[in-house]
């Protein structure tokens, strides 16, 4: 059964705002870490913000499933389970762009996606320093701060800005900047800005034309894929890997096939 969508969106917005505002209010604690690895950092505030978002969701929907980046059980699963098409699942990234946040850069956000089965049905992405709240449901337009947004009409890859990341492939088979290097030869400008959810929101509002990461996680993109689609764009999961890891491509639709071709060649698949 399809759930009533507006209460889901309202709750996603409330959770994203409360978690994001907590991170913002505690910016002076941004370097307090639970663990630091060569290319990542796990912050105490990540865990606090996730608990805050979960609290908001559980108050309204105590029976719904929640998948959070900072849940100690998350990411350890050898296989990502398939969900019943009626199951409602909340997918939380409490601070996307954690490294940006820890260094005091303004580009970070809280992302809350609501999935029914495998399908995103509502999402909210809140970037407190930028003062932006992106929202969408599967029944309505994508919005930024309550105003409808739309993807660009850029027609070719060579006129495009495409955002990506530094993708560390688990098996080491592809160099971390293989896709970036291929894009640098093809697009007007590639960008690495360090926040997947916001990269995709830029595609949704037409500031960028495409986004590709080949080592990203469900919590980074759950809300953002819906926002791109409802803004008139196209998203595609090129590959599912264990532990909620994905290869995700998003675009304004016009450059999709061309972008996919460049990515697959860079990965050695074409």
Residues that bind ligand IPD (CB under 6 A): 69, 93, 96-98, 165, 194-196, 213, 215-216, 220
In the complex, what is the shortest distance from the CB of residue 83 to ligand IPD, in angstroms, rounded to a whole number?
Answer: 22
Closer residue to ligand IPD in complex, CB, 75/206 = 75
- Measure the CA dihedral 233/8/97/23, to 10°: 150
Pair 128, 106: CB distance under 8 Å: no
In the complex, what is the shortest distance from the CB of residue 1 to ligand IPD, in angstroms, rounded to a whole number?
Answer: 32
Closer residue to ligand IPD in complex, CB, 116/167 = 167
Closer residue to ligand IPD in complex, CB, 109/136 = 109
Closer residue to ligand IPD in complex, CB, 69/209 = 69
Q: Which two tokens stand for residue 199?
A: 């990269």
Question: In this structure, what are the phi and psi dihedrals at residue 124, rounded to the nearest 5 degrees?
Answer: -135, 135
In the complex, what is the shortest distance from the CB of residue 261 to ligand IPD, in angstroms, rounded to a whole number?
Answer: 22
Categorise residue 255: left if φ over 0, alpha if ψ from -120 to 50, beta otherwise: alpha
In the complex, what is the shortest distance from the CB of residue 215 to ligand IPD, in angstroms, rounded to a whole number?
Answer: 6
Pair 197, 150: CB distance under 8 Å: no
Closer residue to ligand IPD in complex, CB, 97/232 = 97
Q: Which residue is nearest to ligand IPD (CB)?
A: 165
In the complex, what is the shortest distance from the CB of residue 220 to ligand IPD, in angstroms, rounded to a whole number?
Answer: 5
């Amino acid at each position: 059964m399809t759930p009533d969508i507006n209460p889901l969106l309202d709750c996603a917005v409330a959770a994203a705002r409360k978690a994001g505002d907590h991170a913002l209010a505690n910016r002076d604690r941004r370097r307090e870490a639970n663990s630091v690895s060569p290319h990542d950092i796990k912050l105490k505030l990540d865990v606090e913000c996730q608990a805050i978002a979960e609290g908001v969701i559980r108050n309204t929907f105590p029976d719904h499933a929640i998948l959070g980046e900072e849940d100690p059980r998350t990411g350890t699963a050898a296989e990502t389970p398939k969900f019943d098409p009626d199951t409602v699942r909340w997918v939380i990234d409490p601070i996307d762009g954690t490294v940006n946040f820890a260094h005091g850069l303004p580009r970070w956000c809280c992302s809350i996606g609501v999935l029914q089965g495998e399908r995103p049905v509502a999402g909210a992405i809140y970037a407190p320093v930028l003062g932006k709240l992106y929202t969408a449901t599967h029944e309505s337009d994508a919005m930024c701060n309550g105003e409808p947004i739309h993807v660009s009409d850029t027609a070719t890859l060579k006129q495009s800005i495409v955002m990506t990341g530094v993708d560390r492939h688990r098996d080491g088979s592809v160099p971390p900047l293989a896709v970036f290097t291929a894009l640098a030869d093809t697009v007007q400008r590639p960008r690495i800005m360090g926040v997947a959810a916001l990269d995709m929101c830029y595609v949704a509002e037409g500031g960028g034309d495409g986004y590709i990461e080949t080592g990203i996680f469900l919590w980074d993109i759950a809300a953002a894929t819906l926002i791109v689609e409802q803004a008139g764009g196209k998203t595609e999961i090129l590959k599912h890997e264990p532990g909620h890891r994905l290869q995700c491509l998003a675009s304004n639709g016009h450059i999709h096939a061309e972008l996919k071709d460049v990515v697959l060649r860079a990965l050695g698949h074409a």
